[in-house]
Amino acid sequence: MFLDGRILLVRRANPPDAGRWGFPGGKIDAGETIENAAVRELLEETGVHAEAHRVFTAVDVFDRDGDGRLRRHFVLIAVLCKWQSGQPIAGDDALEARWFELDELDESGLALSLDVARVARQAAVVFEQDLRSGNPH
């Protein structure tokens, strides 16, 4: 989710990626749409209310044990959301929640989950393209 040129991230409380910054998200409940799950998880993890705008990419994440054996395979589906109200406050599975400028994602000391910087930049491009085309956010 973008607001004033910044993207909202959470620092994960639980494995995989505990302690790393990533996008708010979680499991899709049975019968729940991707968009509804994204909005629900965003609210649970950050206290921010939003409207789902569109799915724009997906990322494979492989969770492996110390010997390299696959434990779990996650498919992360990125949904661009339009902010409606609220300021980020960590909740549910998050240690922290805050807005970041895209340039901050390049800081060497910032522990990011896999592909977060790349997906954030892709979201920024989609957001700008939609603005130029008149597609509402």
Q: Nearest to residue 101, comparing CAs of 82, 121, 86?
A: 121
Q: Residues 35, 44, 96, 104: which is the catalytic one? A: 96
Expressed in percent and rounded to 5, the helix, strand and coil fractions of the chain are 25, 40, 35
The verdict on whether 107 is a catalytic residue reads: no
Q: What letter represents residue 22's amino acid?
A: G
Inter-residue contact 20 to 112 (CB < 8 Å): yes
Determine the Cα–Cα distance for residues 111 and 102; give it in Å rounded to an integer.
14
Taking the alpha carbons at both ends of the chain, their separation in whole angstroms is: 10
Inter-residue contact 105 to 89 (CB < 8 Å): no
Inter-residue contact 99 to 6 (CB < 8 Å): yes
Active site (catalytic) residues: 96
